[in-house]
Amino acid sequence: MARIGIIIVIAAVIVSMGAAMYMYAEYQTNYITAVAGETVTVGPVEYTITFEGTHEGDKKTIPENTFVMIGIVAKNIADEKTMISGGQFYFVDEKEQKHKAVYGEFSSKDLRLEWLEPNKPIEKTTQFDILFDEEKQYKIIIRPQKEQSTVDTAVICITNC
């Protein structure tokens, strides 16, 4: 009788370990690497990110350091509309520190919150306030919106790749 109990306990441990490994593998982040100008797919959206340069802001919004602007072309490849926002984009400097996008009215193409219709690409820009050095390598991280339910995350090199 005790042997059957031990076998049941061992089987339960093995099954629970198998379930845990499956769940870990299922929800592990899938990093997709690319270089500026290449198309990368994160969930239902295809992105093409380009380095647009630097600027010193406008009359209302002045950076602490320098604004680095990126161009974003986004295309919804799903059958239903989906949303993108500037909060999905993070700038990663040479020290692997993440910087959030800075919102302002720098141009008519500034990204805040945008609905994407199926198969209709849009062109937007966003900027980040950082200490910029032309010699360093910088990256952009794109995370999906929660509603897009994907584990894909893009890491795109934008300078000195």
Residue pLDDT, tens place only, 100-127: 998 877 778 888 889 999 999 999 999 9
Rounded Cα gap, residues 94 and 70, in angstroms? 17
The mean per-residue pLDDT over the stretch 26-48 comes to 91
Q: Quick: pLDDT tens for 51-95.
A: 998 888 877 888 888 899 999 999 999 999 999 998 899 999 988
In the block, residue with structure tokens 């999905």: 88
Inter-residue contact 80 to 147 (CB < 8 Å)? no
Residue 100: φ, ψ to 5° = -85, 160
What pLDDT score does 146 carry? 80
DSSP-derived 3-state class of residue 42: strand
- Specify the residue for token string 């986004």: 74
Q: Where are the beta strands (DSSP E) in 7-151?
A: 30-35, 39-42, 45-55, 66-76, 82-85, 89-92, 98-100, 113-116, 122-130, 138-142
- Do 103 and 110 contact (CB within 8 A), yes or no? yes
Which residues are CB-contacts of 23 (< 8 A; sequence separation ≥ 6)? none
29 SS3 class: coil
Does pLDDT of 98 surpass 90?
yes
Biggest distance spanned by C-alpha atoms of the chain: 81
Domain boundaries 30-159, corresponding CATH code: 2.60.40.1240
Q: What are phi and psi of 133, to 5 degrees?
A: -130, 120
pLDDT of residue 60: 81
Is residue 78 helix, strand or coil?
A: coil
